[in-house]
Amino acid sequence: MRPVSLAVTGTTSPAATSYADSQRDDILDARLLAAVAVGDEEAFDRIRHRYWRAVERVCRSLPGEVEDCVQEVFLRVWRKAGLFDTTRGSAPAWLLTLARNVSRNLHATPRPTPTELDLEAPSPARDEVARIWLQSALTRIPAAERTVIELAYFADRSQSQIARELNVPLGTVKSWNRRGLNHLAELLAETDR
């Protein structure tokens, strides 16, 4: 029987090349996340471009608002990139785990059922009750949603203006606005019971 030679010749196998490319990608992704952690928007754009489709696939795995899920994932990447630790895993694993968790959390929240509108004529006493209820209800919804609703409906700002002011993507502002209004509708439904 002839011994098999493991000497490296002038060519590399496709598997070895693929592994080397994978290692380079992992290093690049880790560097990009480190740059995102310190606020580098170009690095964030590169990460978002590299992983948009993969995150979207994870968000599609459960029924619901795919766009909201993707926006929320990348908002969390922007805010939490500093938590990525190369000793605990790869950047793709971290990103896709984050996507899976966001997707599960968003899909676990039950959708409010629409309620009928009461179309009585407004009265000063009724307006005062509505104002007090609204102020109370706004304190019970998440801060980001409350901020967007207050800026949109009390400060008369467009969603684009709010996105610039809060330094978040426009899609995130739209999601927060929609979720905030849904939360307010749920609270209104509770008071009608």
Burial code of 167-190, b = ≥16 C-beta within 10 A, e = fewer?
ebeebbbbbbbebbbebbebbeee
Check whether residue 37 and residue 78 sit in a common domain: yes
Instruction: Give me the pLDDT at residue 68, please.
Output: 84
| Amino acid code (one letter) for 159 | Q
pLDDT 10s per residue in the chain (193 long)? 444 433 444 454 455 456 556 677 778 888 998 998 898 889 999 999 999 999 998 888 776 678 888 888 999 999 888 888 888 888 888 988 888 888 888 766 565 666 665 556 666 766 677 778 888 888 888 889 999 988 988 888 888 899 999 999 988 999 999 998 888 888 877 766 5
Q: What pLDDT score does 20 carry? A: 59
Q: Is residue 38 part of a domain?
A: yes
Q: Please check whether residue 141 lies inside any domain of the structure.
A: yes
How many angstroms separate the CA atoms of 68 and 52, rounded?
13
158 and 102, same domain (yes or no): no
What pLDDT sits at residue 193? 56
Residue 11 lies in a domain: no
In a domain, 60, yes or no: yes
Q: Find how far residue 184's CA is from the centre of its chain.
A: 21
Determine the structural domain holding residue 147 and report its residue range. Answer: 137-192
pLDDT at 120: 60
pLDDT value at position 48? 92
Q: Give a yes or no: residue 28 inside a domain.
A: yes
Q: What is the CATH number of the domain that holds 142?
A: 1.10.10.10
Report pLDDT for 147.
92
SS3 assignment for the chain = CCCCCCCCCCCCCHHHHHHHHHHHHHHHHHHHHHHHHCCCHHHHHHHHHHHHHHHHHHHHCCCCCHHHHHHHHHHHHHHHHHHCCCCCCCHHHHHHHHHHHHHHHHHHCCCCCCCCCCCCCCCHHHHHHHHHHHHHHHCCCCHHHHHHHHHHHHCCCCHHHHHHHHCCCHHHHHHHHHHHHHHHHHHHHHHHC
Q: Which two tokens stand for residue 155?
A: 């400060």
Q: What per-residue confidence (pLDDT) applies to 63?
A: 67
Assessment of whether the complete model's pTM goes beyond 0.85:
no
